[in-house]
Amino acid sequence: MWLFDKEIETKLKEKGLSSYSEFTNDKADNRRLKILSSFLLLIMLFLFIPWTQNIQSSGLVTTLRPEQRPQELNTLIAGKIETWFVKEGDLVRKGDTILKISEIKSEYLDPRLIERTHDQIVAKESANAFYGNKAGALDKQIKALSDSRTLKIEQVRNKIIQTGLYIKSDSIALVAAENEYKIANEQYQRQVELYKEGLRSLTDLEQRSQTFQNALAKRNIAENKFYNTKNELINLEIELSAIERDYSEKMSKAESDKFQSYSQISGGIAEISKLENIYNSYIIRNGFYYIIAPQDGQITKTIKAGIGETVKEGELVVRIAPKDFEFAVELYVSPNDLPLIHKDQEVRLQFDGWPAIIFSGWPNATYGTFSGTVTSVDNFISENGKFRILIKENTAEIPWPYSLKIGGGARGIALLKDVPIWYEMWRQLNGFPPDFYTPNNDKKLKSQSQ
């Protein structure tokens, strides 16, 4: 068999075929072997090149602060459109008038409504002032009644004291008259006995009888005077009670009138407060006839059009986009990737309309992407089944494009751990998630807390 192969090889050489000579050239074989070996070596080296794991997600351009986002202007009251002061696309400053509406509700149609309400307040304040004056006059009246009652009571009490002294004097006089009466009576009885025995004359008896009658009369006068004085004392005490009762009634009525005035004042104050509330509400409502720009911005769309069209309370009339804002990007990540996202983590962003060459595993070789950092991660899942993260501009890197518009598309690449390419290929083939890791800033915080 070996001899047969040698014969064939000899015959082919004798024919001088170039392809055969090229095929049997040992130098060419060595060159091909070197090329193949170099290629395999390059592949092996390539598999050990670092590859940055990442999470990719799409989202939209938004603003970092809520007041910087496009907003809707609504009417606070129902009305009729009178005048438009802007058109779509106009730039407005804070405080510029955008739209004027007029009143359509019947209770606010009076052109002098505010003036009349103010007049009601003034009238009520005047009435309260009158009631205050009345209460002051009643206070003076009560004081005068109190002083008069004190004077009257003192006068009656003085009379009572005097009458008490009179009673003592009359009681002494009554006792003296009683004694004189007893003596006169005894003398008269002895005179009668003596007259019966004939020892005294009738004239003596009549004189003694006259003395006895005089003593009896004096006793009766003294007794009547004593009882009259006692009755006068009782009358004075009754008069004192009557004075106290009469003045108490007068003072109570004056107090009642005074408190009624205070009640009227309190009610008037409540009505004044209510009228002032209505008055201020009317003034504020007049300000609602003008739709004012809340901040500098651009009129993007007018929802209502024309003159004379009615709008309801709280109805949308115009949209305005703020002039100054700080861009941000909102991205949505799956719950499986959420543990890999941390605050202040770097994210590379590609914006719609901005050319970019992306090598997701080699961020340094990527062109046309911009740097951002994670500023917040929602704690609750969104309606699309993913968690929203908010990305702000990394001021230490290249600024974001100035021509960005809110609502434009964006694609984010969250940079994770650096691993060899072979490991990443193995991970992708097996469907494993990226490696969990802790950012440097989190490590620093943990070390500081320890």
pLDDT at 23 over 70: no
- Quick one: pLDDT band at residue 450, thresholds 50, 70, 90? very low
Number of domains in the chain: 4
DSSP code per residue over 238-286: HHHHHHHHHHHHHHHHHHHHHHHHHHHHHHHHHHHHHHHHHHHHHHHHH
Residue 419 lies in a domain: yes
Q: What is the pLDDT of residues 372-388, one digit of tens each?
A: 899 988 888 888 888 99
- Radius of gyration (C-alpha) of the chain in whole angstroms: 61
Closest Cα partner for 164 from 236, 72, 261, 271?
236
**What pLDDT is recorded for position 431?**
60
Domain containing residue 30: 1-47
Residue 383 lies in a domain: yes
pLDDT at 55 over 80: no
The residues, ordered by sequence, that sit 6+ positions from 417 with a Cβ below 8 Å of its Cβ are 52, 53, 434, 435, 437
Do both 153 and 282 map to the same domain? yes
Residue 3 lies in a domain: yes
Do both 160 and 244 map to the same domain? yes
Do both 98 and 145 map to the same domain? no
Residue 118's CATH number: 1.10.287
- Order the strands of the 290-292 sheet from edge to edge: 290-292, 97-102, 79-84, 310-311
**What pLDDT is recorded for position 3?**
43
Do both 89 and 220 map to the same domain? no
Do both 56 and 176 map to the same domain? no
Residue 367 lies in a domain: yes
Do both 148 and 280 map to the same domain? yes
Residue 108 lies in a domain: no
Do both 434 and 395 map to the same domain? yes
To the nearest whole number, what is the mean pLDDT of the chain? 79
- The domain boundary residue, chosen from 287, 312, 340: 287
Rounded-to-integer distance, Cα 407 and Cα 288, Å: 31
Between 181 and 360, the higher pLDDT residue: 181
Do both 278 and 397 map to the same domain? no
pLDDT at 200 over 60: yes
Rounded-to-integer distance, Cα 293 and Cα 97, Å: 6
Do both 224 and 296 map to the same domain? no
Do both 199 and 133 map to the same domain? yes
Q: What is the pLDDT of residues 400-429, one digit of tens each?
A: 888 888 888 888 877 666 666 676 666 667
**What pLDDT is recorded for position 71?**
85
**What pLDDT is recorded for position 258?**
87
Residue 254 lies in a domain: yes
Residue 309's CATH number: 2.40.50.100
Do both 158 and 14 map to the same domain? no
Rounded-to-integer distance, Cα 375 and Cα 344, Å: 6
**What pLDDT is recorded for position 277?**
92
Rounded-to-integer distance, Cα 376 and Cα 330, Å: 10
Do both 191 and 312 map to the same domain? no
